[in-house]
Amino acid sequence: MRKMKGIAFAIAEAIDQEMAERQDIVVLGEDVTYWGAVFGFTIGLHQKYGRDRVVDTPITEQTFFGMTVGAAAVGMHPVVSLMFVDFLGAGFDQMYNHMAKNHYMSGGQFAMPVTVLTAIGGGYGDAEQHSQVLYGLFAHVPGFKVVVPATAYDAKGLTISALRDQNPVVIFGHKLLTGLPFLPFEGQEEDVPEERYTVEFGKAAVRREGSDLTMVAAGLMVHRCLRAAERLAQDGIAAEVIDVRTLVPLDADTLVASARKTGRVLIVDEDYRSYGMTGELAFRIQEGAFDALKTPIRRLAVPDVPIPFSEPLERAVIPSVDRIYEEARALVTAPARTA
Amino acid sequence: MWKPEPSLADLQYLVEKAGLTRDALLSAYRQMSLIRHFEETIADRYYIGKTPEFNMAAGPIRGEMHLAVGQEAVAVGVCSLLESQDVVVSTHRPHHHALAKGVDASKLAAEIFGKQTGLCRGKGGHMHLFDKEKNFSCSGIVGASFPQAAGAAFAFRQRGQRNVAVAFAGEGAANHGTFAETLNAAVLWQLPLVIVVEDNMYADSTPKWAALAQPHQFQRALGYNVPSYLVDGMDVIDVYRAARTAIQRARDGQGPALIEAICYRYRGHFEGDAEEYRTKEEVELWRALDPIPRLGNRLKKLGWADDATLEALRAEAKRAVEAAVAFAEQSPLPDPAEALTGVFR
């Protein structure tokens, strides 16, 4: 056990430890050697495994994602980097029409063991085409497992689970949780075991227990919810914070149980508001906890505009600790519905 | 790309040089006849319930249908050189490639009919055929085959496996970015990849002059230093000769190659196509180059077959197709509950 800062090195370590024992893993993508896929997820691998197993590709998302489909079909387990999730448009056909469907379309003949690494999120001034989250798009299409690690411990364990999965798994690593020196860091240094371990998909984590309201989030927003919860505690409000960890598969039971306990739910998301994670989670929660809800479910998300560049504009759209705190207070003080 | 019809002496020379035997050519004739009859039988069944009013959802075969009548020589010329572990990635027009790669005609037909006994248990259908055992797959998305075959080739190279991957695609797909991207990557990494462009003159309804800035894909491929062959896609011997070299050098670790096969589809882009974009006279003109009688005539010229032999081979192919289609027709439809299974493994 040692302290680790951020998810980037945790993900790289997970890949390293699996690669050391398995010949089927190969790493592909733009800048995966010297730059560790830019956000560190593959850092150090090429020094150890060489350019034959850690392969810088031309800037051709459609083609290198297509190659992972072809390589997985003959028994490889490619790890492929989509540098920024915003670039999915350049390669999405091979992902959603092939990688996500070939197992189903082939009647179960072809497994599609691919691990996709991608960097998400804003908050550092990268604007409309380099700040999105977009995991809702992947979660919407059947066939992807959607993994959003919020901690270094989870990042390592979830990555090892992905590398042992027979299905396409997309790991969405938030840039402000990477722990890299050129970006703000909003996570926490934490203990991460040196040995290999897995974190199971489809198990949400209760990051903080409380009885007055439930806050549900993923990735960076888990940390912002935790900070808001500390301030709420000073006001005498006990907030429960749940990290969904994986959008697909989704652990609805943990969400429903918490909603039944607190009766008030705030869902916080850095993805766009409409037709996304907040709506889906709200639906699942009301399905199982409708009678126990004291108020309508609330949500905070990017209000259906692109992520703007200028700092006050960017701050206005990405949920902040302040806004989460205020929304939570408003939720707790809203009158409970009467039967 | 029509090439001069060889004299008997030249034909003997070409066949010998290509390593083609009487058995191999008779087998090619049988295989091409099987594909032809398969496609025509599917067309026959496809129109059940779709006349007089054409409704794509009606009848025993639903959806779109893209048949490869006329393009048999390309599939057979290439695939007859492949080993079972070699990979083929095909297109929205995949039946001829599948049959040439050894996919079972009964399971193929059953999939086209959406039956439980189909290759994909009715989940894929005519444009989404998969056969793990035969290392065959295809995609309904134009341009998708290039990188997927390159991925298999990448895996072979990685594992030191002496196998090759073949991407089939039309000349329309060669306008897709994946074509150029894959050529670049395949040369960069010296992948055992053979790209076969079946130029049948039309991308759906768009004649090639309206879509291609220059008519030949080999010119584009040569720009990436990919050894390229321009072949008569209506001549199985010409296809075979180029494919043999291309596949052999890929297998030997000498990198990718491209085969541009000029051919013609006698039927529409899809069944129900009114074919406003071409004349009946043009189609008839190409009948003179029909790859099946052309091979038959050469077999006779070489003294390797007579009319009775050829007729027997065609009859054998017909029987195989009738059995496959009967199997498909008699097979049960899948249980609706199956629709909810198999997203994840």
**Closest of B166, B65, B87, B75 to residue B131, by C-alpha:** B87
- What does DSSP say about strands B130-131 and B87-90: parallel, antiparallel, or unpaired? unpaired
Instruction: Answer whether residue A20 is part of any domain.
Output: yes
Q: Is the same domain home to A144 and A222?
A: no
Regarding beta strands B136-138 and B130-131, do their DSSP bridges make them parallel or antiparallel, or are they unpaired?
antiparallel
Residue B272 has pLDDT above 90, yes or no: yes
The full set of domains in chain B, from first to last, is 8-331 (3.40.50.970)
Tell whether B123 is within 8 A of chain A (Cβ): yes
Taken in order B117, B123, B128, B131, the sign of the CA dihedral is negative
- Looking at the complex, does the CB of residue A145 fall below 8 Å from at least one CB of chain B? yes
Instruction: Name which of B121, B144, B344 is nearest A98 (Cβ-Cβ).
Output: B144
Quick one: A117 and A229 in the same domain?
no
CB contact under 8 A, A66 and B148: yes
Mean pLDDT (chain B) is 97
Instruction: Report residue B1's pLDDT band, with 50, 70 and 90 as the boundaries.
Output: low
d(CA A33, CA A62): 20
Residues A22 and A112 grouped into a single domain: yes
- Per-chain mean pLDDT for chain A: 97
> Using CA atoms, how far apart are residues A157 and A174, in angstroms rounded to an integer?
16
- Please tell me the distance in Å from A328's CA to the nearest CA on chain B: 37
Residue A197 lies in a domain: no
Chain B CB contacts of A73 under 8 Å are 87, 137, 148, 151-152
A306–chain B nearest CA distance, Å? 28
Considering only residues 242 to 301 of chain A, which have any Cβ-Cβ distance to chain B shorter than 8 Å? none
B120 and A106 within 8 Å at the Cβ level: the answer is: yes
pLDDT of residue A338 exceeding 80, the answer is: no
| Same-domain check for residues A228 and A180 | no
Order the strands of the B87-90 sheet from edge to edge.
B130-131, B136-138, B87-90, B165-170, B193-199, B257-262, B228-232
A311 lies in some domain: yes
Give residue B178's region: left, alpha or beta (phi > 0; psi -120 to 50).
alpha
- Residues A271, A326, single domain; the answer is yes
- Give the integer Cα–Cα distance in Å for B247 and B232: 17
User: Does residue A229 share a domain with residue A92?
Assistant: no
pLDDT in tens, A162-192: 999 999 999 999 999 999 999 999 999 999 9
Residue B232: φ, ψ to 5°:
-80, 105
A324 is a domain residue:
yes
Interface test with chain A among B154, B183, B187, by most A beta carbons within 10 Å = B154
Mean pLDDT confidence for A252-266: 98
**φ/ψ of residue A192, rounded to 5:** -130, 125
B166 touches chain A (CB under 8 A): no
H-only helix segments in chain B = 8-17, 22-46, 72-79, 95-100, 105-112, 145-159, 177-188, 208-211, 217-222, 236-251, 280-287, 291-301, 307-330
Closest by alpha carbon to B140, among B199, B203, B93?
B93
A71 touching chain B per CB within 8 A: yes
Nearest-CA neighbor of A272 among A234, A301, A231, A238?
A: A301
Report strand pairing: B228-232 vs B257-262: parallel
Is residue B4 very low, low, confident or very high in pLDDT (cuts 50, 70, 90)? Answer: confident
A76 shares its domain with A181: yes
Q: Which of A192, A227, A245 is where one domain is finished?
A: A192
Say whether both A151 and A15 belong to one domain. yes
Say if residue A113 is in the same domain as residue A41: yes
Adjacent-strand bridge partners of B138: B90
pLDDT digits (tens, 9 = 90+) for A235-248: 999 999 999 999 99
In one-letter notation, the amino acid at residue A57 is: T
Residue A134, domain member (yes or no): yes
A175 and A254 in one domain?
no
Q: CA of A166: which chain B residue's CA is closest?
A: B345
Residues of A in contact with B158 (CB under 8 A): 26, 52-53, 71, 76
Write the ipTM. Answer: 0.92
Distances (CA, A) of A269 to A130, A265, A285, B172: 17, 13, 16, 42
Q: How far is A128 from chain B (nearest CA, A)?
A: 25
CB-based contact A65 B147, cutoff 8 Å:
yes
Are the beta carbons of A70 and B87 separated by less than 8 Å? yes
Q: Does residue A65 sit at the B interface (CB-CB below 8 Å)?
A: yes
Answer yes or no: is pLDDT of B109 > 70.
yes
End-to-end alpha carbon distance in chain A:
52
Strand-strand pairing, B257-262 and A239-243: unpaired
Which one of A46, A77, A98, A130 is the catalytic residue?
A130
The answer to whether residue A200 sits within a structural domain is: no
- The reply to whether B107 touches chain A by the CB within 8 Å rule is no
- Measured CA to CA, the distance from residue A225 to residue B151 in angstroms comes to 42
B200 touches chain A (CB under 8 A): no
**Pairwise CA distance, residues A109 & A111, whole Å:** 7
Domain housing A300: 205-333
Number of independent structural domains in chain A? 2
Q: Does A338 fall in a domain?
A: no
pLDDT for A339 beyond 70: no
Say which CATH number the domain at A242 has.
3.40.50.920
Mean pLDDT for the stretch of residues A215-226: 98
Residues A17 and A67 in one domain: yes
In a domain, residue A57? The reply is yes
* Known active-site residue A46: no
Domain final residue, candidates A192, A214, A244: A192
- Which residues of chain B have a CB within 8 Å of the CB of A108? 121, 341-342, 345
Contact B123 A104 (CB under 8 A): yes
Chain A positions touching B143 (Cβ under 8 A) are 62
Query: Distance between CA B95 and CA B321 in Å, rounded?
Result: 13
Are residues A220 and A178 part of one domain?
no
For A90-123, what is each residue's pLDDT tens digit?
999 999 999 999 999 999 999 999 999 999 999 9
Distance, CA of B154 to CA of B152 (rounded, Å): 5
Q: What is the CATH number of the domain that holds A28?
A: 3.40.50.970
Q: Is the pLDDT at A337 greater than 90, yes or no?
A: no
B178 to A62: CB separation less than 8 angstroms, yes or no: yes
Cβ(A12)–Cβ(A45) below 8 Å: yes
